[in-house]
């Protein structure tokens, strides 16, 4: 994956605008690129991620599909095999389980089953996570199910800059990418975004801030929570916190993880999904396998409880907040 030289012009965009800009750019640069999903056309997507694209590129390239997630996923696979570059949208994370048959049995396996003859260069965009006061099944964190599945690259940005560069990299990737977009950050995350084309290398974590006493490993909207927790720990406890936003969940940037944990010796993994069988569990296992002797304390995981996501009146007690990260970090620091 090449990283193009960043052009000088940048503007402040929010995360959903950055996604929109990447989609627009991909559609204009490559005639094979098309978007399909529910309400992505005339309505511009329920989060407005595809706003304006239907008008600009027409019905054949920005397609309002029937309400049928398996149809969207399966036909996107077929389109990709046939030479197109489909970008499919599943409207909410909670509607993603419908496509698992296609995702688990086919998406990541077609390259290998055809002994390299066929490939599936598609992107599946899925809004991710909670805390937006949404109805039931609109606040889920299904990344571990996908990461568990071989052959699929899994990406989740937490800044507008990363969202654009990673989405363009995902669209240009020769293999299928599931691209999670943290809903909470769609409008709240704002930042400088270069106007031109650029990509960010898939598989590389971002050091959000450097520190020497403890490492926070995180992704998605929880990155912002970790920043708040770090600020408090530095002020109240005088602890120096390093934060790694993984950005790509599969394949993991293990070098970056081990370098950071090797330096600090203490680690808290923070995410929104239930802890059991989570991607935090995989990270924790990798650190134990490859970095055990560098550890000064057990690795702590802060995640959702092992129950279903409650309706939104209680969601702030389900998804970890800065308090929970602080509590886990203090326990780790004082071990």
Partner 1 sequence: MPLKTVASLDIQRLEILGIDGAVDQSLMPKVSDKLLIEMYRLMFQIRRFDERAILLQRSGRLGTYPMITGQEATQCIPPLALRPSDWVVPTYRGGGVYFARGMQMRYGLLYWAGDDRGTRFPEGNNDMIFSIPVGTHLTQVAGLAWGQKLKGKGGVALTYCGDGTSSKGDLHEALTFAGQFKLPAIYVIENNGWAISVPRSRQAASQTLAQKAWGYGVRGLQVDGNDALAVYAATVEAVARARKGEGATVIECETYRMGHHTTADDASRYREDKEVQRWKKRDPISRFKKFLTAKKLWNDKKEGTLQTATDAWINQEVKAYEEFPAPNPLNMFADNYATAPWHLIEQRAELEKLLQFKGGAQILMELPPAEGRFP
Q: Which two tokens stand for residue 131?
A: 């805390």
Q: Which is nearer to partner 1, 196 or 277 (by Cβ)?
A: 277
Applying CB under 8 A, among 66, 83, 116, 174 the residue interacting with partner 1 is: 66
Is residue 314 within the footprint of partner 1 (CB under 8 A)? Answer: yes
Catalytic annotation present for 138: yes
CA pseudo-torsion sign 116, 145, 124, 105: positive
Name residues whose C-beta falls within 8 Å of residue 43's C-beta, 6 or more positions apart in sequence. 64
Give the whole-angstrom CA distance, residue 225 versus residue 321.
6
Q: Which is nearer to partner 1, 63 or 122 (by Cβ)?
A: 63
Is residue 334 within the footprint of partner 1 (CB under 8 A)? Answer: no
Is residue 235 within the footprint of partner 1 (CB under 8 A)? Answer: no
DSSP 5-52: PPPS-EEEEEHHHHHHHHHHHHHHH-TTEEEEETT-STT--TTSTTTT
Applying CB under 8 A, among 12, 70, 105, 118 the residue interacting with partner 1 is: 70
Number of residues that bind partner 1 (CB under 8 A): 41
Q: Which is nearer to partner 1, 98 or 254 (by Cβ)?
A: 98
Q: Which two tokens stand for residue 16?
A: 């959903």
Is residue 242 within the footprint of partner 1 (CB under 8 A)? Answer: no
Q: Which is nearer to partner 1, 78 or 97 (by Cβ)?
A: 97
Task: Name the segment binding partner 1 (CB under 8 A); options: 78-86, 177-185, 244-252, 307-315.
Answer: 307-315
Give the whole-angstrom CA distance, residue 226 versus residue 211.
13
SS (H, E, C) 197-264: CCCCCCCCCEEEECCCCEEEEECCCHHHHHHHHHHHHHHHCCCCEEEEECCEEECCCHHHHHHHHHHH
Question: For partner 1, what does the binding mask look like between residues 122 and 161, x meaning CB under 8 A?
Answer: -----------xxxxxx-----------------------
Beta bridge partners of 216: 243, 268
Beta bridge partners of 245: 206, 218
Cα separation values, 205 from 83, 202, 228, 260, Å: 31, 9, 19, 11
Of the residues 106, 128, 138, 161, only one is catalytic, namely 138
Phi, psi of 290 (to 5 degrees): -115, -10
Applying CB under 8 A, among 1, 12, 67, 285 the residue interacting with partner 1 is: 67
Is residue 312 within the footprint of partner 1 (CB under 8 A)? Answer: yes
Q: Which residues of 138-154 are buried (b: 16+ CB within 10 A; e: fewer)?
A: bbbbbbbbbbebebbbb
Is residue 236 within the footprint of partner 1 (CB under 8 A)? Answer: no
Is residue 105 within the footprint of partner 1 (CB under 8 A)? Answer: no
Applying CB under 8 A, among 1, 4, 12, 68 the residue interacting with partner 1 is: 68
Task: Name the segment binding partner 1 (CB under 8 A); options: 43-51, 146-154, 248-256, 291-299.
Answer: 43-51
State the minimum distance, in angstroms, from the CB of residue 71 to partner 1.
Answer: 7
For residue 81, give the DSSP letter. H
State the minimum distance, in angstroms, from the CB of residue 241 to partner 1.
Answer: 19
Is residue 38 within the footprint of partner 1 (CB under 8 A)? Answer: yes
State the minimum distance, in angstroms, from the CB of residue 137 to partner 1.
Answer: 4
Is residue 315 within the footprint of partner 1 (CB under 8 A)? Answer: yes
Cis amide prior to 230 (ω within 30 degrees): no
Q: Which is nearer to partner 1, 6 or 232 (by Cβ)?
A: 232
Give the whole-angstrom CA distance, residue 194 versus residue 97.
35
Is residue 55 within the footprint of partner 1 (CB under 8 A)? Answer: no
Mind telling me the catalytic residues?
138
């Amino acid at each position: 994956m090449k990283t193009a030289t960043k052009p000088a012009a940048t503007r402040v965009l929010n995360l959903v605008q950055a996604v929109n800009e990447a989609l627009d750019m991909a559609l204009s640069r490559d005639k094979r690129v098309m978007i399909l999903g529910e309400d992505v056309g005339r309505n511009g997507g329920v989060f407005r991620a595809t706003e304006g694209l239907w008008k600009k590129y027409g019905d054949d390239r920005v397609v309002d599909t029937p309400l049928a997630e398996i149809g969207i996923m399966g036909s996107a696979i077929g389109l990709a095999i046939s030479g197109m570059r489909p970008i499919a949208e599943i409207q909410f994370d909670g509607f993603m389980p419908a496509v698992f048959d296609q995702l688990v049995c086919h998406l990541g396996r077609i390259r290998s089953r055809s002994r390299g003859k066929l490939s599936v260069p598609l992107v599946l965009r899925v809004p991710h996570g909670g805390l937006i006061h949404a109805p039931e099944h609109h606040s889920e964190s299904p990344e571990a199910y996908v990461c568990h599945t071989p052959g699929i690259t899994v990406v989740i940005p937490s800044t507008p800059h990363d969202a654009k560069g990673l989405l363009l990299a995902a669209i240009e990737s020769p293999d299928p990418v599931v691209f999670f977009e943290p809903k909470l950050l769609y409008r709240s995350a704002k930042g400088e975004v270069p106007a031109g084309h650029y990509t960010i290398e898939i598989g590389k974590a971002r050091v959000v801030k450097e520190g020497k006493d403890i490492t926070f490993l995180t992704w998605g909207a929880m990155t912002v929570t970790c920043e708040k927790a770090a600020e408090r720990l530095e002020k109240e406890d005088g602890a120096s916190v390093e934060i790694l936003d993984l950005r790509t969940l599969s394949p993991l940037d293990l070098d970056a993880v081990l370098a950071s944990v090797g330096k600090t010796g203490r680690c808290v993994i923070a995410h929104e999904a239930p802890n059991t069988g989570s991607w935090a569990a995989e990270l924790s296992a990798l650190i134990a396998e490859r970095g055990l002797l560098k550890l000064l304390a057990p690795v702590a995981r802060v995640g959702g409880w092992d129950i279903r996501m409650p309706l939104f009146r209680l969601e702030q007690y389900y998804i970890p907040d800065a308090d929970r990260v602080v509590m886990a970090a203090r326990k780790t620091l004082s071990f």
